[in-house]
Structure 1
Amino acid sequence: MTKLMLLPVIIAIGIFLFAPVGRTEGLEFSGFARAVAGKIDTEKATYEGYDNSISFSEKSLIALQADYSFSSSFSVSSQLLLHTDDDRESGIEWLYLTYAPSESFQINAGRLRTPFLKYSDVIDVGFAYPWINAPQQLYSSYLFSQYEGANARLRRTFGDVVVDFEAYYGKYEDELESSGINVDIEVNNLFGGVIEVNYGGLQLRTATVNTPKVETTIDEIAPLLQGLKAAGFNSIAENFEINDRAGPFLLGVSYDALNWYVSGEWMKVSSDIDVLANLESFYVSYGYYVDEVLLHLTYASSRQSLDTIENTIPVGVSSALDQLYFAVEQLNSFFPTDDLDTWTLGARWDVKTNIALKAELSILDGKEGKSSFYDIKENNFDRNAALYQVAVEWVF
């Protein structure tokens, strides 16, 4: 289904299901949707799919969820997501079985969201957080957004302090596309954990994802790697093979005083893979409520250090070696370096208990010579732009 066909479907289903659906004999239906319009003020690049014309096709979506309770302890949940973004596939977003013998302990098994960032579990539910775009330096960068496996959650209370523990294990498979190149990613032993501490309005959070071995298949560069090995440049070929450890670590803190809040997350992604960057990023956000309207300001930043593979192929010896040399140079430039600073000023108006209107202006300050999350069309682009967005978010 094309983006133009899918957008009317999202709007129509959302309007039809505007009110809460309710529950029928153990079966409960619910859902959420968002209609987002945006543009950037340059024609020299695109950002998150946006160009200098207004588009509704990058972030708009609708999801329908069904939860069925077999008993007080066993239930199953499934979510169907329809998305207009070309970089995401519509379909079953999650499907899992829950065993909850008590209010403080539960086990889930199936296809699940990786519980890493604060809003990882609800990143598609725009109604659940203040922004239209959660800070891209974190929420567009971390790998392994979902997995197939199991997790266990435990809650303990110590006076006024509530501590939540979560551990998970499973496998991850996905197909990513960048600059027209398809990358198949597979992780067979993904595991990690989360510890979250709540005391009044204060929340502290730490999380990690561990992937002892990330395996990728990139069909487009396979002939180049074979050519390098055939010419005796095995070390260069091996450097471009993505087959090693990678994993992010997170620290988060927030304080909610009801009429105002402050929050932040810091993430570091380290890797033993030569061509993947080590990433460090964070955001700090402040919000203040004026009646039903939330005004918020967010600063986000990311820095990547990319190990460029040394190209030791001699030039001028033969045309075949020249071709290999320039192919390696082109491949070196393919891997992104997303250094970016962003200031985002936004407003959210909860017009009803299940409907919110949002508007945002983001000033994007990228770094010269870096990709900075842009898809660059013209080489003289200075990596600076403004992103304008408006959205309607609702749950039903």
Structure 2
Amino acid sequence: MTNFKLLIALTAAAAMVLSSQAAGETDKLELSGFARVVGGFVDTDKATYEGYDDNVSFSEKSLIAVQADYNFSSTLSASVQLLLHTDEDRESGVEWLYLTYTPTEEIQFNVGRLRTPFLKYSDVIDVGFAYPWVNAPQQLYSSYMFSQYEGANARYRANIGDFIVDFEAYYGRYEDSLVSSGIDVEVELDQLFGGVIEVNYGGLQLRTATINGPKVETTIDEIAPFLQGLRAAGFEQLAEKFEINDSARAFLLGASYDTLNWYMSGEWMKVSSDIDVLANLESFYISYGYYYDSVLFHLTYASSNQSLNTIENTIPPGISPELDELRFGVDILNSFFPTDDLDTWTLGARWDVKTNVALKAEVSLLDGKQGKTSFFDIQDETFDRNAMLYQLALEWVF
């Protein structure tokens, strides 16, 4: 039984238990949820961005989720979240399923399927109501590694004078199917670990986090036959360089300050890897927002710079048609891996219509780099990697 089927079975079992007990113990069961309807388009027919093309679409970011929390006691609880997503590149189903043990107010342990607590909004990235933008800056939030894991974490909160300091450590494994340039990529890590330190003082928050994958293994069915052909022709070392089977890690620094009249926030992330074909990535954003009654106006600049390791093509040309074909294949494979250099300016507004409902509107200037993918799926190579993205969203928590 796969992990996903096991989680579904556990969820069904938990639902049966909860439904049988809920009638007499409703104080132990808490149900909540969230939903978002997001529409948008880009002003070009030469490329798509995050699934958007030049036609208005509501199927890229819209979703609905329901969460059940059951309190077995004052210290032990269980949580499950079911999510239905309209994006065809993302699976719907059990988003997380875990047990929580809280022996004291300062200490908490979780075990199960959990969100990886790396970026500031990693835990709530699907809950659009929790942050100001329609989309959190893509340079960080669409590319950060290993968004969830199966394992355990431990949290400790210390009050030091007027400072509140949170420490978190986590360990587990990761397995998922991703889509890159329209190609399915199976990713697996037997070990995934990291930590978070967050300091709060009044309206000031400082945050640092790490994530480490000592051995990242991937399976890409579309290129496996080509790599076998390289080995059969005697180019074993060249084939090995295109295999993704080594370590990757990321480091984050973040800061924010909120006066309740205005705020500033930012995050900086660096991803590095020992895998030959993967790039090192540096990305950041800085955002300013101003509150006017129930409306928040915000401006965000985000940037990413990705350095890709191009594998030297050691197949000599002109020896035979078969080797020329392999040489051409190496050049094609070198161009397969994305290089997501992109600068973005986003101007937006958020109106809190009610305490649990918000309307958002955004326009983003996407300034990519010629010769790079810049987060676009390019349909026409004459595309200059510049476009405008327009989005509207309705956010709801219940």
TM-score (norm 1): 0.94
Superposition deviation, residue 314 in structure 1: 1.5
Q: 1:347 — aligned with what?
A: 349
What letter corresponds to residue 158 of structure 2 in structure 1?
A: R
What letter corresponds to residue 211 of structure 2 in structure 1?
A: V
**3-state SS of 2:150 partner:** strand
Q: Distance in 2 between matches of 1:44 and 1:85?
A: 21
CA deviations over 1:221-271 (Å, ceiling 9, x no partner): 111111111111111101001000101100000000011000000000000
Superposition deviation, residue 151 in structure 1: 0.1
Q: 2:203 — aligned with what?
A: 201
Query: In the alignment, does 2:210 pair up with 1:192?
Result: no
**3-state SS of 2:54 partner:** coil
Q: Distance in 1 between matches of 2:386 and 2:361?
A: 20
**3-state SS of 1:57 partner:** coil
CA deviations over 1:28-56 (Å, ceiling 9, x no partner): 10000000000000000000000000000
1:371 to 366, 370, 373: 373
2:219 to 196, 217, 220: 217
CA deviations over 1:292-348 (Å, ceiling 9, x no partner): 000000000000000000111112211110110111111111000000000000000
CA deviations over 1:122-164 (Å, ceiling 9, x no partner): 0000000000010000000111000000000000000000000
1:183 to 179, 182, 185: 185
Q: 2:22 — aligned with what?
A: none
Query: In the alignment, does 2:387 pair up with 1:385?
Result: yes
Q: 1:291 — aligned with what?
A: 293
Query: In the alignment, does 2:113 pair up with 1:78?
Result: no
Q: Distance in 2 between matches of 1:343 and 1:266?
A: 16
1:264 to 256, 266, 273: 266
**3-state SS of 2:173 partner:** strand
CA deviations over 1:186-222 (Å, ceiling 9, x no partner): 0111000000000000000000001111011111111
Q: 1:277 — aligned with what?
A: 279
Q: Distance in 2 between matches of 1:201 and 1:156?
A: 17
Quote the sequence identity (%). Answer: 77
Q: 1:173 — aligned with what?
A: 175
Query: In the alignment, does 2:157 pair up with 1:155?
Result: yes
**3-state SS of 2:223 partner:** helix
Superposition deviation, residue 178 in structure 1: 2.0
Q: Distance in 2 between matches of 1:271 and 1:311?
A: 21
2:233 to 231, 234, 252: 231
Q: Distance in 2 between matches of 1:182 and 1:60?
A: 22
**3-state SS of 1:326 partner:** helix
Q: 2:307 — aligned with what?
A: 305
Structure 1 unmatched ranges of 5 or more: 1-22
Q: 2:98 — aligned with what?
A: 96
What letter corresponds to residue 283 of structure 2 in structure 1?
A: S
What letter corresponds to residue 171 of structure 1 in structure 2?
A: R
Q: 1:8 — aligned with what?
A: none
Q: 2:32 — aligned with what?
A: 30
**3-state SS of 1:102 partner:** coil
Q: Distance in 2 between matches of 1:394 and 1:182?
A: 32
What letter corresponds to residue 309 of structure 1 in structure 2?
A: I
**3-state SS of 1:86 partner:** coil
**3-state SS of 2:74 partner:** coil
TM-score (norm 2): 0.93
What letter corresponds to residue 187 of structure 2 in structure 1?
A: I
Q: Please list, as runs of the form range in 1=range in 2, the aligned pairs for 1:33-182 lying within 5 A after superposition.
A: 33-182=35-184
Q: Distance in 2 between matches of 1:370 and 1:330?
A: 14
Q: Distance in 2 between matches of 1:86 and 1:387?
A: 20
Q: Distance in 1 between matches of 2:76 and 2:361?
A: 41
Query: Which 4+ stretches in 1 moved above 3 angstroms?
Result: none
Superposition deviation, residue 180 in structure 1: 3.1
Q: Distance in 2 between matches of 1:163 and 1:135?
A: 26
**3-state SS of 2:171 partner:** strand
**3-state SS of 2:222 partner:** helix
What letter corresponds to residue 49 of structure 1 in structure 2?
A: G
Superposition deviation, residue 176 in structure 1: 1.0
Deviates more, 1:375-384 or 1:227-236: 227-236
Superposition deviation, residue 177 in structure 1: 1.7
Q: 1:13 — aligned with what?
A: none
Aligned pair count?
A: 374
